[in-house]
Amino acid sequence: MQKILVANRGEIALRIMKTAKKMGIKTVAVFSEADRESPHVTYADEAVCIGESPSNQSYLLGDKIIKVAKNLKADAIHPGYGFLSENAEFAEQVKANQLIFIGPDAHAIKIMGNKLAAKEAVKFYNIPMVPGTEDPLDDIAEAKAIAEKIGFPILIKAAAGGGGKGMRIVKNIQEFEIQMERAKSEALSAFGDGSVFIEKYIASPRHIEIQILADSFGHTVHLFERECSIQRRHQKVIEEAPSTVLTPKLRDKMGDAAIHVAKACNYVGAGTVEFLLDDQNNFYFLEMNTRLQVEHPVTEIITGLDLVELQIKIANGEDIPFIQADLEISGHALELRVYAEDPLNNFLPSVGLLSTYKLPKGDYVRVDNGYTQGMTVPIYYDPMLAKLITYGATREEAILNMLNAINDYKIDGVETTLPFGEFVCNHHAFRTGNFDTNFVNMYYAPELIDKATEKEARIAALIALKQYLKDINQLKLPN
């Protein structure tokens, strides 16, 4: 493999290119008008503008991307994550044009891209699944009856999607009908498919995912777990590896289950199997992501592996150069997704000019970055600026290094999730490992933050008053 086109933007495009360069492979960047000055464009060996700023006029134009790859004599296309990374039709087109798709084949993408099809595929392996329906639901009366049988609260979910879209928690029968209509409408808008299904709602789960690798020779391994329970709007913000709650026995059990999920669709490449873990340590298969995950750096740090390098080698027909017994966890890693969002305004995007943008540095700090000072954060894409990753020999060290790195990260011009990261890392529930996916709702609602700020202000005022009275008292002349 001599040349790779990276069909993505921002930090992930740059991160892939750095590994390619390390491997002696040339890179091609594609970019939209909004990204003309982006770091991934200047870093690549060659770069081609493929369209206007909106992604449907640039990064989602599979035919145009393939044409660029062929014109520049690239051998392969790496899709990164998002955009076309889980588009089975694009994977097929890449292969049909005698190019290598650095990812699984279309068959695996199709199966795992539909949650119901994925559940059907893994049934043979007796992998635990949340009680729910096995087929899409259209009839409201039938759906109501099934929901009552499963027992409220239940979760209505889009069959074709993820990221919290087309998902509704239903607490009782009275609100079922309106929530189902909303879920179907949102699913149709987001994925072009309004199919939904029902699952029992697990009230306080942890979100645990297992990284897997599989080569074309039938060899599959897992690279341990990532804890992804700190989320907003069902989307991850902070991830860590390893999890604080998995015992070695449970880790092995979940790892074996993840390997079986991969085998169920003849998976080849890097992928992630996601599970829910309840408060009794029962785990349930959630879905499989057929691509590189945003949070892959924490796995790289605790294993010492380069997942992009392994992706490229597997796509190039090489086998995995180690077995499960060779792998071990070393230390602890945290990742904070640095979004241009306002955490105190429901994490809404905060776009604008990065008038100050200085990255933290240190021996135990890694920043997978996509921006430079003076750039404008565009409105057209996911607002993630970078990923801040820290390492420590222990979890406590990794948290301390994260707090120091957050303090050293300087950004002006937009609101970011850095203060949220600081809040989480200082919170008792997180420090003790006693948290789940409800962390934000329980501890970070704006009214809770305002209340805590008021309390801190009152305490500070009382301390100041006490000191003032003490000082006045000392100044009084003796009788």
Residues involved in catalysis: 291
Nearest-angstrom CA–CA distance, 199 and 183: 13
CB 208 within 8 A of CB 283: yes
Cβ-Cβ contacts under 8 Å for 425 (sequence gap 6 or more) = 334, 399, 402, 403, 406, 431
Of residues 270, 330, 334, 313, the one with CA closest to residue 22: 313
Nearest-angstrom CA–CA distance, 236 and 257: 22
Per-residue exposure over 254-267, b if at least 16 CB sit within 10 Å of its own CB, e if not: bbebbbbbbbbbeb
Nearest-angstrom CA–CA distance, 23 and 75: 14
Which pair of tokens denotes residue 287? 């879905």
Show the CA angle centred on residue 143, arms to residues 139 and 145, nearest 5°.
Answer: 125
Give the count of beta carbons closer than 10 Å to the beta carbon of residue 190.
Answer: 17
Cβ-Cβ contacts under 8 Å for 365 (sequence gap 6 or more) = 388, 389, 390, 391, 401, 405
Which pair of tokens denotes residue 400? 């301390």
Tokens 């390997």 belong to residue: 259
Nearest-angstrom CA–CA distance, 83 and 98: 21
